Amino acid sequence: MIGATAIMTGCTPESQIKGLEFDPDDIAFLDELGDTIIPETDTPGAKAAGIGAFMVMMVKDTYDGDSQKSFVGGVNKIRKDFKSEKGKDFVGAPAEERLAYLNGMYDTYKSSDKKDNQVINMLRDLTVLGYFSSEIGATQALNYIEVPGRFDPCIPWSDSNKEYAV
């Protein structure tokens, strides 16, 4: 289509941080944050789905400059505050401590000025979106039926069934 690039440029935010980069340690940290939100159970966790790289892609490509600053600042604050509070790095800490810390952040977010702790919502939303749209999430955590496939107008359902993948 002629002019497709002109139309698609409207999809990117106007103001973004120029040169925003994440190093491998940042991606590993985001993997751990995501894996704390969706840990490995009988299905692989968010880290196995490559959630850190997904978060980086979404923040760099779709967030505006203010949201990017909030995300980067919030992630750095988590890293710093966890270490000062617990005396150890988030990445090496037991899963129970990491989860308790993130749950505490979420409780604070719900009861205070939302702008101060909005990173917890960003992390949660990006983790859920990235995990359930990944191959692992769609095929192993959800009930995946390849499309096009056979049409069954009536299928048996019980509360123990998995949700269907999109």
**pLDDT tens digits for range 54-107:** 999 999 999 988 999 999 999 999 999 999 999 999 998 999 999 999 998 888
Does the pLDDT of residue 5 top 60, yes or no?
no
Does the pLDDT of residue 4 top 50, yes or no?
no
- Alpha-carbon radius of gyration of the chain: 19
Q: Which whole number is the average pLDDT over 21-35?
A: 94
Q: Using alpha carbons, list the distances in angstroms from residue 156 to 48, 52, 145, 149, 160.
A: 31, 37, 15, 17, 11
Least confident range from 80-84, 145-149, 158-162: namely 145-149
CB neighbours of 52 closer than 8 A, spacing ≥ 6? 26, 27, 28, 29, 30, 31, 34
Can you give the pTM of this predicted structure? 0.79
Nearest to 57 by CA among 165, 166, 109, 133: 133
